Chain A
Amino acid sequence: MSSAVSPTLAPPERWWRSRTVRRFCRHRLAMFGVAMIVLLTLACVFGPYLLPYDELFIDLRARFAPPLTGWHFFGTDPLGRDLAARLFNAGRISLLVGFFAMLMSTMIGTFIGVLAGYYGGKIGAVLMRITDAFLSFPSIFLLLALAAFIKPSPFTITAIIAVTSWMEVARIVSAEVRSLRERDFIQAARMLGLSNRWIMFRELLPNAIGPIIVAATLTVARAILLEAYVSFLGYGIQPPLPSWGNMLNGAQQYLGSAPWLAIVPGVAITLAVTSFNFIGDGLRDALDARSDLS
């Protein structure tokens, strides 16, 4: 119908040629981040099949082999297990935990933020005070207290990280929704008699999606860091299941004799977290319409 009525209308812009995408692609650090994440993901998904060693194969004759001994690219650990194989398998767990923790915490934060921002008043005040209260705990204390008492598994760790890191998103979303609430298109939607739920999740949410995406990207970085902390301290992912954090767990005592045990997983964590931070920064610049002016 649209083509018949208004034949002069410009064809819809393809999303991959939009200004936002072009701006993002010009952001060098963000592109570096994307490339690193793709590489890391590919390595973690396919790496274990390409390596000659199984991540659980114990070879006591090859204990503490330094990197580049034979086929042990990153060396071996105190039990003679291949560090490269463990690193890639651990990456699967750590990246998955980071991703799903982001998904859960973004959903919690968005839900609370939209409710608080849309209803405002008493409901908004109560919800935002709860958010403030959660923010008053040093997050690592709360996280550890929960992790220490709940039986650890990849799922519970993910859930615990999500429960302790949704507050930023909630604040951002509620501020965004509050500024959008009085706009004309929302007034129009109200006059059309649309339900509150429809207005919140079909009208307001899509318009606040930019800051949510940025916050979500940065949350992945934070979640990977948090998982590493908790697992390093022994309350996170439990061996024999490897994660980047618990690979560092035993590394401190061998720091003098086998420093690669600490360096290899640490570099992997830093690379992944830096990449997600770069991507988040690039997205923020790309989604901010004002950034063209400066």
Chain B
Amino acid sequence: MNPLVAISIGLREISAHKFRTCLSMLGIVLGVSSLIATMALTRGIEDGTRKFMQQMGGLEFVSIVNKEPSSKKFEFANLSPGRTLRDAEALKQSANFLSHVSPEIFLSTAVATDGGGNPDRRMVRGVYPDHFVIGMHQIRAGRFLTPLDLERGSRSAVLGDSVAKQLWPDTPAELAVGKTILIDSRPFVVVGVLALYEMEAQARARKSGRSVSRRYDPFRQKNETVLIPFNTMFHELRSGAFPLDSLDTMKLETLTVRVDDLDHFQPALDQIRSILDITHRGVDDYDLETRQDWFDRMESSVRAARLSGGLISAISLVVGGIGIMNIMLASISERVREIGIRLAVGARQRDIFWQILIESVLVSFLGGLLGILASLGLIEILKSISPTENIPVLTLDAIFLAVGFAIAAGLFSGLYPAAKASSIDPITALRYE
């Protein structure tokens, strides 16, 4: 039998029972639309993450982080001074594959303008000049901290864009340079203001005058930063809090380095390890965290999201398939006599088999098409509630995949009814009332 004939018979069957068929399609519609929407959503998150990673900067950065020493070194753990400025200096002097070394210490303290006003508690960071490169900063006005600032322990400060705006709402960044602010009641001169960091979508929104989404801002911390020279922080602000610290023993909050060339990334890591093994006296209480690890983690969380979304959709596709099987079985028991007549005029068992199977696939395929339409609506809703960076992206392969799964569901759920229909005995069927 010509498959086109089977398709036209199937379409007639479907149009004869529109409501019933639509109900049985519902599972497939939900499955397909949720599958497409999930894929669009995770794709959006993926795109957003990628873009963010690009903006956050390159693979050449390596963070030295604390970790629990392994159990066999546990007894010697006290021998290690931990992650100190000495590490930074040692790396700076001995690791020739590193172009920048940036140790940081933090202090959460009050910042106010010299004009008084309410002081704001802010995170103030003591940094090296290398932080300019490591932090991927851009200067909007003035200058960044210099080696001279570090050496002299000068009372200079570089402000993030948001901080400058909050302290002097009506003053352009250029005029903020040279003003004095009070950090923990000590006067600091603002020597520079950083550029405003934002995602593309935020920039677009700001330029077109729309309100900027505040739900998720990866650059918030960067925009609200107050940077002062490391030594100034230590002598002026931290020594009071931790009087026993010396520059050598004080624990760092972060230590980040930049490898000068990705070509010798691995040797650079080895270099870092061999130097830190000396400064930490052989205690493995540190770990090297590369951006690659970080990116891999993001990727794997995106994958996990996609997998769980896919799983949920797969379940609803299976449920949809069962719905179709149900309706096909009902349809067959209604059509026993019809099947008998078709057999009597010369239909072979396999003609009946294919006809039922094709009908089942047709139902699931139409369900898939409706599912695509539904997914368009679903994605619009998701677009309106998801952060601008992670706008869901509808891809063609998502559509093909979902419809492919729908057809497969129809195929599998049609097999049993088709086998059942084709095994009907013509004599019994012709007598069937």
A and B interact physically: no
Q: Which residues of B contact A (CB under 8 A)?
A: none
